[in-house]
Amino acid sequence: MKRTTGAHLPRMRKQNLIVDELPEEVLVYDLDRHKAHCLNRTAALVWRRCDGKTAPREIARRLQRELDQPFNEEMVWLALRQLNKINLLAEPVSLPPKLAGMSRREMVRNLGIAATVPLVITSIVAPTAGQAATCIPLNGACQPPNLPCCGNLTCNPGHHICK
């Protein structure tokens, strides 16, 4: 990973994403990887401030003022690490040397990151259209234990087709 410098500050990825802003979280669907990510308010606040112009230290200062509670630079780095991992940054950023070798759990424990400002990103793999189906349509292939045939259709045992 590259080192974050003045020329390479964290920048949110914007291409091939569908973003749905909700009151307390942001849902992001990655069209390239077919994964959905739910960023809680804290993670979303960090992500939105990744403009390629603002350093993590300044992001922390702004969030501390906005949230009116402690928010240190290490919390921003923890968020950047997670955003990096799920490919929501335009370019990878490297953690500072003092944080680089730590696991997420070690970062939280060793840096005393406040539990009052939770940082949560949940990700799931989106099902394919076939996996998302709830029943098999007319003339669709069926064979137990597949999905049931739709409506009044039944699985023809000889041909394994919904009729």
Q: What does the alpha-carbon distance between residue 146 and residue 140 come to, in Å, rounded to a whole number? A: 11
Instruction: Please tell me the predicted confidence (pLDDT) of residue 7.
Output: 43
Instruction: Please tell me the predicted confidence (pLDDT) of residue 21.
Output: 93
**pLDDT per 10-residue tile (average), the chain, 163 residues:** 56 96 92 92 94 96 91 89 94 86 74 60 72 77 78 84 87
Q: Is the dihedral of CA 73, 77, 83, 88 positive or negative?
A: positive
Instruction: Please tell me the predicted confidence (pLDDT) of residue 11.
Output: 97
Q: What does the alpha-carbon distance between residue 91 and residue 5 come to, in Å, rounded to a whole number? A: 12
Instruction: Please tell me the predicted confidence (pLDDT) of residue 145.
Output: 67
Q: What does the alpha-carbon distance between residue 62 and residue 116 come to, in Å, rounded to a whole number? A: 17
What pTM, to 2 d.p., does this model score? 0.69
Contacts of 120 (CB under 8 A, 6+ apart): 39, 40, 42, 43
CA 50 to chain centre: 15
Q: What does the alpha-carbon distance between residue 90 and residue 44 come to, in Å, rounded to a whole number? A: 15
Q: What does the alpha-carbon distance between residue 32 and residue 7 come to, in Å, rounded to a whole number? A: 26
Q: What does the alpha-carbon distance between residue 9 and residue 129 come to, in Å, rounded to a whole number? A: 38
